[in-house]
Amino acid sequence: MYNFTFHRPTTVRQAAGLLARNPDGKLLAGGHSLLPVMKQRLAQPSALVDLSLVEGMTGVELKGRSVVIGAMTRHADVAKSDVLKEVMPGLAAVPGSVGDPQVRNRGTIGGSIANNDPNADYPAACLGLGATIITNKRRIAADDFFQGMYTTALEDGEIIVKVSFPIAKKAAYEKFKHPASGFALVGVFVSKRGSDIRVAVTGAGSEGVFRVPTFEEALKKRFTAKSIEGMTIPATGMNSDIHASPEYRAHLVSVLTKRALNKANA
Amino acid sequence: MSANGIGAPVRRKEDFRFITGQGQYTDDVVRPGETRAVFVRSPHAHAKIKSIDVSAARTMPGVIDVLTGAQLAGDKIGNLICGWMIHSKDGSPMKMSAHPALAAGKVNCVGDAVAVVIAESQAQGRDAAEKVKVDYEVLPAVVDPAKAQAKGAPQIHPDIPNNTIYQWHLGDQAAVKAAFDAASHVTTLDIINNRLVPNAMEPRAALAEYDAGTDNLTLWNTSQNPHVARLVISAFVGITPEHKLRVIAPDVGGGFGSKIFIYPEEVVCLWAARKVKRPVKWTADRSEAFLTDAHGRDHVTRAELALDASGKILALRAKTIANLGAYMSTFSSSVPTYLYATLLSGQYAIPSIYCEVDAVYTNTAPVDAYRGAGRPEATFVVERLIEVAARQMDLEPPELRRRNFIKNFPHQTPVIMAYDAGDYNASMKKAMEIADVKGFAKRKREAARNGKLRGLGYSTYIEACGIAPSQAVGSLGAGVGLWESAEVRVNPTGSVEILTGSHSHGQGHETTFAQLVSERLGIPFDSVSIVHGDTDKVQFGMGTYGSRSGAVGMSAIVKALDKIEAKAKKVAAFMMEAAEGDIEFKDGKFTVAGTDKSAAFGDVALNAYIAHKFTGAELEPGLKETSFYDPTNFTFPAGCHICELDIDIETGKVDIVNWTAVDDFGTVINPMIVEGQVHGGIAQGVGQALMEGAVYDQAGQLVTGSFMDYSMPHAHDLPSFHVGTTETKAPSNPLGMKGCGEAGAIASPAAVINAITDAIGSEDIAMPATANAVWSALQRAKAPKAA
Ligand SMILES: Cc1cc2nc3c(=O)[nH]c(=O)nc-3n(C[C@H](O)[C@H](O)[C@H](O)COP(=O)(O)OP(=O)(O)OC[C@H]3O[C@@H](n4cnc5c(N)ncnc54)[C@H](O)[C@@H]3O)c2cc1C
């Protein structure tokens, strides 16, 4: 790790101010993505602005027909939230599938989304539910937020404060774990909220999380696995590495979508 | 059996300190004035070093010195060596390249150390290491062993054409050819034994301290055999004479073979400590461990089995290319030769065997012994061949095995080994019962209803352990003898210290060795302490590997305890004024035959030291004995593992649902520890079969350089194992022990792959059989065969 200065603001405003004064600084949430790359000296922020003491950034709340999760809420706390398990267990399952207990006890939803790792789980849930990412400056629809591997709509100095998920009647996540990292080799989130049907895929695409319009269209008739029986997506644009071929990833998208649909309908 | 004696499942003494974080590992040892060594490593797999500029690094804060390979050579520090001579077919000796501890002029793999920064702190050392400017001329690299010998392949070492270290063979080529010509059935397999990264929990570390007053050097290191390290570092590398060097391997957090070897970093720390006159410490980070620990396996093999119409094996033939990496590590040459080809007879009576092995250099990390070392590779060849042959001949795999099992002992195989005892059918029979093989067909139908393909795979393995008689290994090229030493010190109060040359780094010697002593002397288990891992305390020892600590290390203790008993009887005779011949020793008590006189072990110990009852002319005071034990043969643990698994047809994911292991380890001292060793070994073997694999790209970069890409087995990847034993005593050592440390890793890969291929009905799958690989194999099996 290289040297850096360390700041612990207590309000979002202070945090934003610190970022403005430290253009090479970075926000620190759970540190489970940022610190490993710093330890390997692949990232060299001049300052860390730790969000852990900032007020009002944690918790899972029911607000009308949405669930609102503070950006600093740890994966473990989202996973065990009674409110969430009651209204949308399919979403609670997403942080529950992340890493191991240590990671779940530190990692946060805000950090995960801001990082937009192409194999992360939360991006699938955000896109798969049509969530709104609320920052200190604006509200960004998930469809506009994720812009390719490790790239988001966030501007310099913009801080995610919370994420609002509309409650879908049917929602489920199906994850095929990466054999080494435990991230999603492929993960599929499906949901149905009235006529809004979404199938969002993480892990598979070389541009990060994406929706599958052909599946969504087919599911408009009936939201069941049967509706997409025999349907596939092309292997082009899928990731290719030593762990999985593009063909295999494309195949898993179909398989996992069907499994997620069965779960959502169960 | 007493509560803590031989055969009791005693809880491990050492675990208290490990589990409560009180172990003392090398990195925990802190010396006054300690500095940190940070290595500058090559980012290229193959390159000429045009120049190294350390001037900027030298001026960085906290930097004490920056040293390079040129200075190492200038100080006449010798090369690292491989200590096992192998001769090629044509009689020529193996071609060992120079292996300087810091690269001289050229780097041959990513991670090769080119310079070292000695700094006040780790962070300062890293900062400075980034300022060392190395100008490389990058050369083409070769990483694939099958391509290393090809015309036009980059030549890695100047004096070694075709990157070929040796072309070795064993067996009767003509007899094998005749048998194949006459065979009614031949099974042929192309096998890749995947390269593995050892991944011990504790990374390698070294701390060197120089005492200018005495001119002595001390090295704390993560070693499985500190005495061998001292020998090599003094006699070959020439750091300092043997008696001026003390090597201490304190608590060591796992080795799996990778900590047997002598590595560049230890040499450099010693050399640098004398130069800067301050202690120098290096602890590998995980990235360095991936790049520089000696890897395991990496064989490419074509194997063939010849059988007659009745299923009797006539001959076996194998041609293997073994990747030894960029340099020959300490015992690398022996692994694909005498630890491999000599086991190709498996548990079967095979009249003739012929094996050819080419060992090659590539631009990858050195490859050496890794849990099982050669024997997992041999077992995989033999057990895949026999399983496939059975399927091709429409025989049940256990039936083909039964027809060929060796039944009479001793049995001389055509590949050197003389098996002394075993009952192979007994272990297979017991394993088949525990695994409920009879109910398998029904379970397979049920699995099919849930979209799963169920498979059953066997592996009836054998290994040569307790490595072993010095004369035998010497005749095969070993540069050292493989006996073990023990010293028993009885204190005046009757407590006992055992100094052993066996090193414990996860095996639980502090417990099992104490069980032996407690039982043999009839003293409390807690009155025994085990001392190891320090060349100043233990006179000499060959260390722990090859499942030898029980069979060889404990046997040495037994021999020393025999001497203790003999001496103590003399003391007791004086004490009780009886003839020495009338003294009997049992359950910790000395008695005089035919009388009611007795003396406890503790009283005799005290009398040995106060020496009031005898004159110095009659008997030397004290009670301390030493023994060097050299066994008469290897030991031959063997057994049967059965793997039952499900494959998710849609995803190819393998789920092991049942694992049965029935092993014959001879005498078992502590069944709980033995079971733990078996569990760990199976986990490693399953890891190799299903997920692990070190992958280099064509430029020689290690793609699997972290746990994000290198898959290790987790507890949830494994079922609860059913572990049983059968027992035939090893005739070659006084305890009848065979060794259990490697069995699981040796047996299991073949069992997994045999089960997968049984499930998918195709032999077309390589290790690691990842979900993607299995799914692809299923697609290939489904696809209409091209005309
Ligand atoms: C061993 C291991 C296993 C893991 N397994 C998984 C897995 O299975 N699935 C998965 O999805 N993830 C996994 N992760 C990643 C984990 O979920 C991370 O915690 C998460 O991706 C990042 O969250 P964090 O709170 O740790 O963020 P940090 O590491 O603190 O920050 C990550 C990035 O986000 C920025 N940031 C943080 N908070 C905000 C904010 N409020 N507004 C704007 N920017 C912000 C930071 O500046 C930084 O650039 C794993 C991590 C580890 C170490």
Cβ(A34) to ligand 1 under 6 A? yes
How close B558 comes to chain A (CA, Å)? 45
Q: Is the pLDDT of residue B786 over 70?
A: no
Long-range contacts of A89-93 (CB under 8 A, 24+ apart): A90/A168, A90/A170, A90/A171, A90/A172, A90/A173, A90/A189, A90/A191, A90/A263, A90/A264, A91/A67, A91/A125, A91/A129, A91/A165, A91/A171, A91/A173, A93/A172, A93/A173
Q: Chain A interface, mutation test: which of B650, B654, B698, most A Cβ atoms within 10 Å?
A: B650
pLDDT in tens, B57-70: 999 999 999 999 99
Question: What is the model's pLDDT at position B787?
Answer: 45
Instruction: Please indicate if any CB of chain B lies within 8 Å of the CB of A223.
Output: no
Buried b (16+ CB within 10 A) or exposed e, B570-599: bbbbbbbebeeebbebeebebbbeeeebeb
Q: Same CATH topology for B17-139+201-254+259-292 and B299-467+633-782?
A: no
Residue nearest to atom 16 of ligand 1 (CA): A107
| Ligand 1 centroid distance, CA of A14 (Å) | 22
Closest CB to B695 among A242, A245, A252: A242
Of B432 and B469, more confident:
B432
Cβ(A47) to ligand 1 under 6 A? no
> Which pairing describes strands B721-726 and B654-664: parallel, antiparallel, or unpaired?
parallel
pLDDT in tens, A219-234: 999 999 999 999 999 9
* Contact assignment for B651 to A180 by CB distance below 8 Å: no
The whole-number average pLDDT for the span B297-313 is: 98
**What residues does each domain of chain B span?**
17-139+201-254+259-292, 299-467+633-782, 483-629
pTM above 0.95, yes or no: yes
Residue nearest to atom 2 of ligand 1 (CA): A99
Name which CATH class applies to B483-629. alpha beta
Which of A42, A57, A115 gets mutated to test ligand 1 (max ligand atoms within 8 A of its CB)? A115
* Contact assignment for A245 to B126 by CB distance below 8 Å: no
Closest by CA position to A115, among listed A49, A22, A31, A184: A31
* Contact assignment for B775 to A248 by CB distance below 8 Å: yes
Confidence label for B1 from pLDDT (cuts 50, 70 and 90):
low
Closest by CA position to B82, among listed B336, B301, B431, B404: B336
The whole-number average pLDDT for the span B750-762 is: 98
The whole-number average pLDDT for the span B553-572 is: 97
Residue A227 CB: number of other CB atoms within 10 A? 16
* Contact assignment for A179 to B771 by CB distance below 8 Å: yes
ipTM for the whole complex = 0.96
| Ligand 1 centroid distance, CA of B197 (Å) | 28
The whole-number average pLDDT for the span B682-692 is: 98
Cβ–Cβ under 8 Å, residues A109 and A96: no
| Percent of all residues in chain A with a pLDDT value above 70, rounded to a whole number | 100
The whole-number average pLDDT for the span B234-257 is: 96
Give the domains, in start order, of chain A with CATH numbers: 5-45 (no CATH), 60-265 (3.30.465.10)
Closest CB to A180 among B287, B708, B775: B708
Cα separation values, B457 from B209, B318, B349, B402, B647, Å: 52, 22, 21, 15, 13
Instruction: Please indicate if any CB of chain B lies within 8 Å of the CB of A251.
Output: yes
pLDDT in tens, B174-185: 999 999 999 999
Instruction: Please indicate if any CB of chain A lies within 8 Å of the CB of B697.
Output: no
Buried b (16+ CB within 10 A) or exposed e, B132-166: bebebeebebbbbbebbbeeebbbbbeebebbbbb
Which of A100, A108, A158 gets mutated to test ligand 1 (max ligand atoms within 8 A of its CB)? A108
* Contact assignment for B708 to A176 by CB distance below 8 Å: no
The whole-number average pLDDT for the span B593-618 is: 96
Query: Which pair of tokens denotes residue B659?
Result: 């694992």
Nearest chain A residue to B692 by CA: give it: A180
pLDDT in tens, A235-245: 999 999 999 99
Cβ(A30) to ligand 1 under 6 A? yes
Nearest chain A residue to B768 by CA: give it: A243
Q: Is the pLDDT of residue A60 over 70?
A: yes
Q: Is the pLDDT of residue A17 over 70?
A: yes
Cβ(A120) to ligand 1 under 6 A? yes
Which CATH number does B17-139+201-254+259-292 carry? 3.90.1170.50
Per the prediction, chain B carries an average pLDDT of: 96
pLDDT in tens, A177-215: 999 999 999 999 999 999 999 999 999 999 999 999 999
Confidence label for B279 from pLDDT (cuts 50, 70 and 90):
very high
Question: What is the model's pLDDT at position B587?
Answer: 93
Cβ(A182) to ligand 1 under 6 A? yes
| Ligand 1 centroid distance, CA of A97 (Å) | 14
Q: Whole-angstrom Cα distance, residue B492 to residue B238? A: 41
Question: What is the model's pLDDT at position A1?
Answer: 87
Q: Is the pLDDT of residue B109 over 50?
A: yes
Q: Which residues in chain B are closer than 8 Å to A255, comparing Cβ atoms? A: 650-651
The whole-number average pLDDT for the span B116-135 is: 98
Which of A14, A26, A98 gets mutated to test ligand 1 (max ligand atoms within 8 A of its CB)? A98
pLDDT in tens, A73-128: 999 999 999 999 999 999 999 999 999 999 999 999 999 999 999 999 999 999 99
pLDDT in tens, B156-179: 999 999 999 999 999 999 999 999
How close B490 comes to chain A (CA, Å)? 48
Q: Taking a contact as any Cβ pair under 8 Å apart, which residues of chain A between 5 and 44 contact chain B?
A: 40-41
Confidence label for B2 from pLDDT (cuts 50, 70 and 90):
confident
Cβ(A77) to ligand 1 under 6 A? no
Where are the strands (E) in B649-711, listed by range?
654-664
Where are the strands (E) in B173-232, listed by range?
185-193, 205-211, 216-221
Name which CATH class applies to B299-467+633-782. alpha beta
* Contact assignment for A180 to B712 by CB distance below 8 Å: yes
DSSP B136-150: EEE------HHHHTS
pLDDT in tens, B353-408: 999 999 999 999 999 999 999 999 999 999 999 999 999 999 999 999 999 999 99
Confidence label for B467 from pLDDT (cuts 50, 70 and 90):
confident
Residue A98 CB: number of other CB atoms within 10 A? 22
| Ligand 1 centroid distance, CA of A34 (Å) | 7
| Ligand 1 centroid distance, CA of A110 (Å) | 8
How close B161 comes to chain A (CA, Å)? 32
Question: What is the model's pLDDT at position A190?
Answer: 98
Question: What is the model's pLDDT at position B537?
Answer: 95
Q: Which residues in chain B are closer than 8 Å to A229, comparing Cβ atoms? A: none
Q: Is the pLDDT of residue B447 over 90?
A: yes
